[in-house]
Every structure is written in C-alpha cells, then in structure tokens.
C-alpha cells in the first residue's frame, strides 16, 4: 500500500490596521482573520496498517488525524513613543 497524500490546501488570510491622525499616527489598531472561509482539510493520515502484530489490522488506517487550523481572529494594539 502506498503512502496517503494530503489534498492541496488553500487559505485566505486578511488583515487590516488603522493609525488615527489625531494620535500623530503613533497608535495602531489591527485585526487579522486567518482562514477566512474556514476550510477544513486533512493534513495527515494514519500510516500504519497493522496495530500490535503482523496479523492485526488497524481499523483507523488511512483515516485523517490532523486538519488545517480553523478560522481565528487576532487583535493587536501598539503605540510608538
């Protein structure tokens, strides 16, 4: 049996920052959104076809065990003095 390969993954990340003029552009507020469309794709699979010995079958063989990171948001605030 060949090694299971993972599908192509595509992810859209967006970021926005704002520096208000009334603070002399020293204050910056930002937001980043990762995996905007919340695509869930497998990134790894169970590779072993045998459990404990040579004649035992692993029922999880070729099942996904890792997935892409779900959508998440990051907020930031910085000040240059």
Edge-to-edge strand order for the sheet containing 14-18?
A: 14-18, 27-34, 72-79
How many Cβ atoms sit within 10 Å of the Cβ of residue 64? 15
CB atoms under 10 Å from CB of 71, counted, come to 15
Instruction: Pick the closest to residue 13 from 59, 73, 56 (CA basis).
Output: 73
The CB density around residue 45, as the number of other CB atoms within 10 Å, is 16
3-15 confidence digits (pLDDT tens)? 667 778 889 999 9
Q: What is the pLDDT of residue 2?
A: 57
pLDDT tens digits, one per residue of 33-63 = 999 999 999 988 888 776 666 677 778 888 8
| pTM of structure | 0.70
CA–CA distance, 45 with 57 (Å, rounded to integer)? 16
Q: What is the pLDDT of residue 51?
A: 65
């Amino acid at each position: 049996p060949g090694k299971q390969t993972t599908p192509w993954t595509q992810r859209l990340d967006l970021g926005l920052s704002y520096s208000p003029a009334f603070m002399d552009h020293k204050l910056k507020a930002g937001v980043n959104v990762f995996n905007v469309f919340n695509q869930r794709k497998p990134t790894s699979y169970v590779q072993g076809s045998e459990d404990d010995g040579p004649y035992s079958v692993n029922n999880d063989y070729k099942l996904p065990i890792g997935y892409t990171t779900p959508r998440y948001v990051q907020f930031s605030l910085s000040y240059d003095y």
